[in-house]
């Protein structure tokens, strides 16, 4: 009996220690050590994933039950190794500080040890750190580089696109980098619904109302055309079909503003101005033409086709406003 009591007495501290250890979670330890992330790992949504295509130079955000979204990206410049494998979003940072790698500082000794948030920070305002060393998805202070092989290994997005992606992607989202085109699921076809046949009626059908043609879309020219200097903007201003697409979108925007109450008009006008700047950023990245090369027939044809697609999308968005 005495030996049994002694044995139980020795078990008490051990059990107490085990219970105490189970009450200390890994997250509590990290918090005490000062290691934090901007989003909790419990936000992981396996149905959402990112696929980056090096051939397309685009980042695709795929989510079950939602149409895919796509953004142009800058990828590693020639000679920079780019991992072709799977990873995850490990951390999200707002207003990140940039720390050049040792290799970058050897190549350019003038680089500082770190660059704080601000207009000179090459990471922009948002960064998604991945599982590879010194590789992230982030913004940029050089929008003209997006869509090209221009980075030190990271994936750069336009400022408006990284802001959208940052809000949509939780920590833990899977990321895959592929060399060829990304396999993006096709939109689901609409489901046909059977409609029962109408019962016969003895009364004559009413006379059809005369159809009224919709009013023509207003065309509002771009006031910047007189001083346009960028090659893509000059192409839009000087090619009649492109100018008509651009002018119709502008006319619809003005019609939308005119229909709003006066107290909402200023805010809506500012939002449209910001939207136009984002549109200019997108066509600069997607339909890029080096200054002086717009006279090359092949370059001009490719840029014209790219601009026509972008302007058609913009016009459809203006119609749905």
Catalytic positions are: 138, 154
Quick one: residue 304, left, alpha or beta (phi over 0 = left, psi -120 to 50 = alpha)? alpha
Choose among 175, 177, 135, 131: nearest CA to 152. 135
DSSP state of 252: H
Structure tokens at 129: 């750190």
Angle (CA) 152-157-159 rounded to 5° is 125
The closest of 114, 117, 115 to 95, measured between CA atoms, is: 117
Beta strand pairing status for 126-130 and 136-138?
Answer: antiparallel
Integer Cα distance of 149 and 52 in angstroms: 14
In DSSP terms, 66 is beta-bridged to 63
Distances from the Cα of 70 to the Cαs of 57, 73, 122, 236, in angstroms? 10, 10, 22, 24
Token duo for residue 26: 């890994």
Q: Kindly tell me the sign of the dihedral angle through the C-alpha atoms of 133, 49, 321, 264.
A: negative
The Cα 91–Cα 259 span in angstroms is 44
Rounded to whole angstroms, how far apart are CA atoms 144 and 187? 31
Contact 288, 148 (CB under 8 A): yes
Q: Where would I find the beta strands (DSSP E) of 131-211?
A: 136-138, 149-151, 155-157, 174-178
Characterize the bridge pairing of strands 86-94 and 155-157.
unpaired
């Amino acid at each position: 009996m005495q030996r049994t009591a002694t044995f139980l007495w020795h078990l008490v501290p051990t059990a107490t220690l085990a219970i105490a250890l189970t009450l200390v979670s890994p997250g509590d330890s990290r918090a005490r050590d000062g290691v934090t992330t901007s989003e909790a790992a419990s936000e992981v949504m396996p149905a959402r994933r990112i696929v980056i295509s090096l051939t397309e130079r685009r980042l695709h955000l795929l989510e079950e039950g939602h149409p895919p979204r796509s953004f142009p990206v800058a990828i590693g410049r020639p000679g920079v190794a780019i991992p072709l494998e799977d990873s995850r979003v490990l951390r999200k940072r707002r207003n990140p500080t940039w720390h050049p790698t040792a290799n970058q500082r050897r190549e350019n000794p003038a680089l500082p040890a770190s660059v704080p948030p601000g207009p000179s920070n090459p990471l922009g305002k948002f960064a998604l750190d991945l599982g590879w060393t010194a590789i992230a998805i982030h913004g940029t202070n050089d929008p003209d580089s997006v869509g090209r092989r221009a980075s030190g290994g990271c994936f750069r997005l336009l400022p408006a696109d990284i802001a959208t992606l940052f809000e949509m992607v939780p920590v833990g989202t899977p990321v895959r980098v592929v060399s060829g085109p990304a396999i993006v699921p096709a939109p689901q076809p609409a489901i046909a619904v059977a409609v029962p046949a109408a019962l016969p009626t003895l009364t004559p059908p009413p006379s059809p109302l005369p159809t009224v043609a919709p009013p023509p879309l207003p065309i509002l020219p771009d006031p910047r055309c007189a001083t346009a200097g960028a090659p893509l903007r000059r192409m839009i201003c000087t090619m009649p079909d492109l100018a008509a697409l651009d002018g119709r979108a502008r006319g619809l925007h003005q019609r939308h503003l005119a229909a709003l109450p006066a107290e909402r008009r200023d805010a809506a006008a500012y939002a449209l101005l910001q939207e136009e700047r984002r549109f200019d950023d997108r066509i600069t990245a997607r339909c890029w033409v080096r200054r002086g090369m717009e006279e090359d027939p092949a370059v001009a044809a490719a840029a014209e086709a790219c601009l026509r697609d972008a302007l058609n999308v913009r016009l459809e968005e203006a119609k749905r406003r």
